[in-house]
């Protein structure tokens, strides 16, 4: 008689459990997941606190790190498609800074190994470290950075104009004329001939650095930046110098 009272459509499986629930996890796994999330939240909170403290102290300025004067963030300010180019240009500027320092040290060694013109080389090379590093950042790196950030053609043309001067300066430094503050080819060959190995090696490194500057500056001047600036000028005419493209 009990068989006739049973629901023939009833499932033999219990419906107490939700079939869409995640399978039960071991308690150890749940604890590790909670701890991982807590550590991630603490890390993010620490980063936010550091950024907030930095903004309270310096505003949004974050560059240079030892005395922030401007805000510089390729990741935050440059469109994603242009970030590799601007990153390479920033790296090129860092190579320039390193080359200027190596050139100065090489001229310092020349000063102690060669009495003719060594003082002029040392003085000029020290001046280059401060003058060229600052002006190159302000006159060709920052304009191309602003050009891609703000999409204003004026910045592109500033970059091309002063980038041309940088190209000429790099060629000048490659030659290495004595008493000009350059440890380029002529100075390096002199150091090798006179067996002043330390000065010769540093001069070689400096010369390679200037060659890198010249090659990359020339390559980039004929690359995507010029094409973009030409397109803006063709589309917007003279107002592209002063308005957004």
127-179 pLDDT per residue, tens: 999 999 999 999 999 999 998 898 777 888 888 889 889 999 999 999 999 99
54-64 pLDDT per residue, tens: 566 556 788 98
Nearest by Cα to 220 from 108, 109, 143? 143
Question: Which of the pair, 117 or 149, is modelled with greater confidence?
Answer: 149
On the question of pLDDT at 239 being above 90, the answer is: no
pLDDT for residue 98: 97
Given a contact cutoff of 8 angstroms between Cβ atoms, the answer to whether 148 and 80 are in contact is: no
pLDDT for residue 59: 66
Question: Where do the structural domains in the chain lie, given as residue ranges?
Answer: 24-71, 77-241
Nearest by Cα to 104 from 119, 125, 120? 125
Most confident of 69-83, 124-138, 227-241: 124-138
**pLDDT band per the 50, 70, 90 thresholds, residue 86:** very high
Given a contact cutoff of 8 angstroms between Cβ atoms, the answer to whether 102 and 202 are in contact is: yes
Q: What is the dihedral of CA 36, 42, 47, 50, to 10 degrees?
A: -160
Query: How many CB atoms are located within 10 Å of the residue 4 CB?
Result: 6
Per-residue CA distances from 78 to 86, 147, 203 (Å): 8, 9, 36
Per-residue CA distances from 223 to 90, 93, 187 (Å): 16, 18, 33
Given a contact cutoff of 8 angstroms between Cβ atoms, the answer to whether 213 and 96 are in contact is: yes
Mean pLDDT of 221-229: 57
Phi, psi of 155 (to 5 degrees): -65, -35
pTM of full prediction above 0.95: no
């Amino acid at each position: 008689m009990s068989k006739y009272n049973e629901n023939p459509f009833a499932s033999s499986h219990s419906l107490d459990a939700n079939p869409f629930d995640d399978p039960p996890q071991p308690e150890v796994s749940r604890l590790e997941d909670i701890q991982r999330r807590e550590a991630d939240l603490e890390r993010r909170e620490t980063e936010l606190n550091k950024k907030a403290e930095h903004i309270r102290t310096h505003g949004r300025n974050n560059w240079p790190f030892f005395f922030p004067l401007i805000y510089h963030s390729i990741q935050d300010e440059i469109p994603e498609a242009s970030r590799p180019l601007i990153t390479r240009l920033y790296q090129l500027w860092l190579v320039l800074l390193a080359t200027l320092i190596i050139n100065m040290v090489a001229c310092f060694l020349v000063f102690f190994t060669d009495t003719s013109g060594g003082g002029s080389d040392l003085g000029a090379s020290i001046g280059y470290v401060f003058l060229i590093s600052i002006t190159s950042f302000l006159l060709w790196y920052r304009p191309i950075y602003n050009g891609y950030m703000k999409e204003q053609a004026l910045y592109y043309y500033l970059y091309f104009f002063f980038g041309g001067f940088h190209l000429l300066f790099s060629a000048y430094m490659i030659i290495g004329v004595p008493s000009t503050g350059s440890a380029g080819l002529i100075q390096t060959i002199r150091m090798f001939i006179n067996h002043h190995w330390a000065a010769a090696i540093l001069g070689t490194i400096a010369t390679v650095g200037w060659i890198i500057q010249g090659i990359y500056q020339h390559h980039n001047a004929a690359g995507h930046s010029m094409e973009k600036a030409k397109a803006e000028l063709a589309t917007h005419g003279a107002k592209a110098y002063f308005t957004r493209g």
